[in-house]
Amino acid sequence: MDSDTSPVPAIRTTNVGVTFGGVPALREVSVDIHRGEIHGLIGENGAGKSTLGKVIGGYHAATSGGMEVFGEPALAWDPPAALARGVAMMHQELQLVPALTVAQNVFLGIEDQNWGMLRPTEADRLRRLMETSGFSLDPHAVVADLSIADQQKIEILRALARDARVIVMDEPTSSLSKDEVTQLHQSMQALRDEGRTVIYVSHFLEDILAVTDRVTVLRDGEHVKTGPTSQETKASLVSAMLGGGKTETPFPQKRPPSDSEIVLDVAGLQSDAGVRNATLTVGRGEIVGLIGLVGSGRSEIARAIVGADPASAGTVSLNGTPYENRSLAVSTERGIVMVPEDRRKHGLVMTLPVRGNMTLPHLTHFSAGGLIRRRLERARVTELIDYFRVRPTAIDGDVSTFSGGNQQKVLIGKWLLENPQVVILDEPSRGVDVGARERIHEAIAEMAAGGAAVLLISSEIEEVLGLAHRAYLVDKGVTVEEIDPNQSDEAGVLSALFAHQASAEIKKAP
Amino acid sequence: MNQFAIARFLQSYAVLIMVVVLIVVLSTMSDSFLTVRNLLNILNQNAPLAIMASAMTLVIIAGGFDLSVGAIFAMGAVCSAWIALHVNPFLGLALAPLIGLGLGTVNGLVITMLRVHSFLATIATSLIFKGIAIVISDGRLIPVRMAEFTWLGREKIAGVFNAVWIMLIFAVILTFVLNRTTFGRKVFSVGGNEEAAILSGIRTDRIKIATFALAGFAAGLASAIAVSRVSLGQASAGTGMELQAIAAVILGGTSIYGGVGAVWRSVAGVLLLALINNGFNILNADPFYRDLTTGLVILAAIGISAGGKRR
C-alpha cells in the first residue's frame, strides 16, 4: 500500500480521443490511474468506459492524445506491447481455449520449451504461481468443465504469469452469480494488496462502490470526474453518469390486478433439464417474480412452461384448460411467450434487420399463401419501435450494430408483437443502459395493466421486488416459497434463499 | 459514415464490379467478344452451373454446404439418358429434376437425423450417388440421339436458348422466394441464429431439408439441360461442378457462416468465372495460365468483399 503516494501513476492518459467510422467514442479523456489501486470505470452503455479500457490494453488505438505507462510514453501500443510492459486485459468474453487444461491455458504462448519441444512443467509452474497469488485451481482440469468464475481466475493467473502489473477487467461480472462476484472482488483486493493495479470496467454501481478505491465516471465519451470512491454514493454516481442531477429511476407504480382470475396455472412441473417441482400461478394483470440464484433452474422452468424443453411430469393450464403437448409454435399461437435471457445467443438473429426479427415467431399472421405481407409487417413493427423508443428508428436497421438496450427492446418487442396473454421475461434488463431499463420496466408494468399475466425472472432481486405483485423463491428446480415483495427486502430474500439451499444440502447428506 | 457506405457497397457489388471490369477489358482486347452471339453462348454454356449455384445459395444462407450436387448431376444425367433410351425421351427429361429432388431430400434427412455437419454428410452421399450412377450406366456412355430428347438443350425461344430462359426464370423465382416468402425469411433465420429460430417456433430441420431438396432439384434440372445438349449420359458428368457452384456463391459475397446472401450475386459469380474462361478462348491465350488467373480473380473478389466487412 506504500505505492499509493508514488508520484508516477501506473497509467496516465492525456486528451485521449477515439473515433469509430467518424463517430467519436472518446473525447479528450485525461485520467491518472495510480499504482496499487482498484480503479473503477463507470458509465452508461456507449459512454466509452470499455473503449477506454481497451485503449489502455492496446486493443483500440487512440486517434488523438497520448498515454504514459509507469511514466514512459506508450508508443506503437498493441496487445503484445502492452503485455510486454506489464498491462494485461481481461475481456468480457473470456479468451480461453476450452479444450486445454487450466495450466496449458495459463501458459499459452509462454510455454516452457526447448527448440519448440514442450516440456511438461506447466503444472508445477502453475502450482508455484498459485502459492504466491493465493488462487487454487486444479492445473489438470479441462477449462470447458469449469464455471465462469473459475475461468476468470484462469484469466487472472494468465496475467500474473506474464507478471502483469496492471490488469484491465472489462465487465467481468456480467455473467456471474452473486457469490461468484464476491469471489472476484476478493481476487481484486488480493491483487491490489500485492501492489498491482486493477482497472474495473463495469456498469454495476454496487460492485464499483463495494470494491474500488477510486472511480472515473464517463458520459457520452467524455470524462465527467475522477475521485475517491469513499466520497461517492449510488445517487452521486448515477447523477454523474446521467448528467443533470437525475437520480436512479424508481420502479413504475405497482397497479394491483383488477380481478383474481388465474391465467397461467403450473402444477408439479418437471423436466430433464433440471426442473424438479415447479408449482405457480399467475393471474390476469399480475406480475409474478421468480427469484433464485444462478443455476437454480429459473430459466429451465420458463423453458418447460412454453415447451422449449419437454416436460417429464406436471401440468400447465391456460385459463383453466390444460395445455398439453406444448411446443413453441403452439405456445406463440395461444399467446404464451418467453423472452429468453441471452439476446445474442437465443434471442435475435443478428443478420436479420429489426423487421425480420420482430415478426419471426408470427410469420403465419404476417403472410398470405406463404408470401410476406410487407405493408402489414412494416406498420406493426413501426408501432413497436415507437412504443419502445428504439433508437435508431429504422425498421430495416441492422440490429447487430444496436446498443444492448436497443437490442433488448427489439427482443421484447418481438415477443409482444401479438399482445400475448402470458409473457415470461427472463432477465429483461441484463446488460442494458439506465434509459432502456426504465423503458423496459414501464413496458412490463403496462403489459400487466393491459391484462397480460407476467412471469418475471431476474437475478437482480431488487428488480423483482420493485416490479412484482407476488414472487416465488426457486432452489434446484423447485418453487420452495412464496413471498410478498412489498414486505421483503434484498437481504431478507437472499438469506431465505441460502437457508433453503442449506436445508436441501442437509436433507441430501446421509 | 461515408467509409461505411463504400465498404457495404463493395461487399454487395464486388462481384458485379469485377464482371464489368472484365467485360470492358475483354471488349477492348477483342472485337469478337462483345457480340450478342458470344454473350448468349456464354450464358447458354453456363446455365446449368448458374442453376446449381442459385439453389446452392439457399443451402449456404441456411448455414449448410452441399458437396454432392456434382454427383446428383451425374445421377440425373445417367438416369435421364437411360430412361430416354429405354422408356421415353420426354419422361427422361422430366424425371431428372425429380430424381435430384429425391436425392437432395435424402441429404437433408441424413444431415438432420444423424445431426452431422452437412460438409461431411454430403461427401459421403456424393460417393454413394456417384457409385449408383456408375452401376446404372455400367460404366459406359449412354448416347441418346433423338430430337425428342435434344430439343431442351439445343433449341431456342425468341432467339435465346431454352437453357438461358430456364436459368433466368429459376433465379428470379428463387430470388422472390428468398425475399418475399415466409420460407425465405426462415432460411435467413436458420443460418443467422439457429437457436433463436428454434425458440421462435421454427422447425429448423424442415427448413434445412428443404434447402438441400432444392439444391438436388436444381442439380437434376441442370443435368437434364446438359445431357440433352450433348445427347450423352455418363457417370463422370458434373465432376467438380459442386466446387464451381460453391465458388460462385462465395464470389457473390454470400457468407459461408450463413444468414447473408443473394441469388443474383451467385449468378454474377458464375458469369465472372465464365468470362475468364471465355477471355482465354477468344484471346487465344495460353491455357496453362487459366487456373492461375481464375484463382487470382477469385482471390481479388474475396479480398474486396472482406475489405467491406472489416470495421
What are the residue boundaries of the structural domains of chain A, listed by start? Answer: 2-242, 262-508
Binary contact (A356, B188; C-beta < 8 A):
yes
Instruction: Report the pLDDT averaged over residues B7-18.
Output: 78
Find the CB nearest A340 among B183, B199, B260: B199
Strand partners, A290: A457, A472
Same fold, A2-242 and A262-508: yes
Tell me the chain A residues in contact with residue B195 when contact means C-beta distances shorter than 8 Å.
345-346
pLDDT band, very low/low/confident/very high, at B294 (cuts 50, 70, 90): confident
What is the per-residue burial (b if ≥16 Cβ within 10 Å, else e) of A387-417? ebebeeeebebebeebbbbbbbbbbbbbbbb
Distance between CA atoms of residues A373 and A380, nearest Å: 11
| Number of other CB atoms surrounding residue A293 within 10 Å | 21
Assess if CATH 3.30.70.2860 describes domain A2-242: no
Tell me the chain A residues in contact with residue B182 when contact means C-beta distances shorter than 8 Å.
363-364, 366-367, 370-372
For chain B, the first-to-last Cα distance in angstroms comes to 11
Cell numbers 393450464 correspond to what residue? A317
Find the CB nearest A371 among B180, B196, B259: B180
Q: Is residue B5 part of a domain?
A: no
Distance between CA atoms of residues A456 and A287, nearest Å: 7
Q: What is the pLDDT of residue A245?
A: 45
Distance between CA atoms of residues B306 and B176, nearest Å: 27
Binary contact (A372, B180; C-beta < 8 A):
yes
- At A57, give phi and psi (nearest 5°): -80, -5
Instruction: Report the pLDDT averaged over residues B253-264.
Output: 90
Q: How far is CA A365 from CA A345, A374, A468, B150, B195, in A?
A: 25, 11, 32, 46, 22
Tell me the chain B residues in contact with residue A330 when contact means C-beta distances shorter than 8 Å.
201
- Return mean pLDDT, chain B: 91
Nearest Cα neighbor of B72 from B89, B90, B52 is B52
Model ipTM value? 0.87
Looking at residue B288, the DSSP 8-state letter turns out to be G
Distance between CA atoms of residues A258 and A284, nearest Å: 8
Q: Is residue B152 part of a domain?
A: yes
Strand partners, A222: A27, A219
Helix (H) or strand (E) holding A201: strand A197-201
Question: CA of A366: which chain B residue's CA is closest?
Answer: B182
Question: Does B183 contact chain A (CB < 8 Å)?
Answer: yes
Number of domains in chain B: 1
**How many cross-chain Cβ pairs, A to B, lie less than 8 Å apart?**
90
* B278, three cell numbers: 471465355
Find the CB nearest A349 among B180, B182, B259: B259
Tell me the chain A residues in contact with residue B200 when contact means C-beta distances shorter than 8 Å.
328, 332, 360-361, 414
Q: What is the pLDDT of residue A247?
A: 44
* A14, three cell numbers: 492525456
**Cβ–Cβ under 8 Å, residues A487 and A465:** no
Find the CB nearest B195 among A20, A346, A364: A346
Tell me the chain A residues in contact with residue B186 when contact means C-beta distances shorter than 8 Å.
363
Q: Is residue B25 part of a domain?
A: no
**Cβ–Cβ under 8 Å, residues A159 and A135:** no
**Cβ–Cβ under 8 Å, residues B221 and B96:** yes
Residue B63 lies in domain = 33-309
Question: Does B196 contact chain A (CB < 8 Å)?
Answer: yes
More confident residue, B293 or A388: A388
Query: Structurally, what CATH architecture does the domain formed by A262-508 represent?
Result: 3-Layer(aba) Sandwich (3.40)
| Number of other CB atoms surrounding residue B254 within 10 Å | 28
Q: What is the pLDDT of residue B1?
A: 46
**Cβ–Cβ under 8 Å, residues B23 and B275:** yes
Instruction: Report the pLDDT averaged over residues B11-16.
Output: 80
Tell me the chain B residues in contact with residue A356 when contact means C-beta distances shorter than 8 Å.
185, 188-189
Torsion, Cα of A377, A383, A388, A391 (10° steps):
70
CA distance B199 to chain A (A): 7
Q: What is the pLDDT of residue B53?
A: 98
CA distance A369 to chain B (A): 9
- At A264, give phi and psi (nearest 5°): -110, 125
Question: CA of A411: which chain B residue's CA is closest?
Answer: B196
pLDDT band, very low/low/confident/very high, at B286 (cuts 50, 70, 90): confident
Binary contact (A349, B188; C-beta < 8 A):
yes
Which of B273-280's residues contact partners 24+ apart within 8 Å by CB, and which partners? B273/B46, B273/B49, B273/B244, B273/B247, B273/B248, B274/B42, B274/B45, B274/B46, B274/B49, B275/B19, B275/B22, B275/B23, B275/B26, B275/B42, B276/B22, B278/B26, B278/B33, B278/B38, B278/B42, B279/B22, B279/B25, B279/B26, B279/B29, B279/B33
Burial class of residue A138 (count of CB atoms within 10 Å of its CB; 0-12, 13-18, 19+)? middle
Which of A381-389's residues contact partners 24+ apart within 8 Å by CB, and which partners? A381/A354, A381/A355, A381/A413, A384/A358, A384/A413, A384/A416, A384/A417, A385/A354, A385/A413, A387/A413, A387/A443, A388/A412, A388/A413, A388/A439, A388/A443, A389/A439
Binary contact (A350, B259; C-beta < 8 A):
yes
Q: Is residue B169 part of a domain?
A: yes
- Chosen for mutation from A327, A363, A412 (greatest number of chain B CBs closer than 10 Å) is A363
Q: Is residue B283 part of a domain?
A: yes
List pLDDT tens digits, range B296-311.
Answer: 887 877 777 666 554 3
Tell me what percent of chain A is helix, strand and coil, each rounded to the nearest 5.
40, 25, 35
List pLDDT tens digits, range B193-218.
Answer: 999 999 999 999 999 999 999 999 99
* B269, three cell numbers: 459469380
Tell me the chain A residues in contact with residue B4 when contact means C-beta distances shorter than 8 Å.
21
Instruction: Report the pLDDT averaged over residues B59-75.
Output: 97
Question: Does B12 contact chain A (CB < 8 Å)?
Answer: no
Tell me the chain B residues in contact with residue A347 when contact means C-beta distances shorter than 8 Å.
196, 199
Tell me the chain B residues in contact with residue A367 when contact means C-beta distances shorter than 8 Å.
181-182
Q: Which residues of chain A have pLDDT under 50?
A: 1-4, 245-247, 509-510
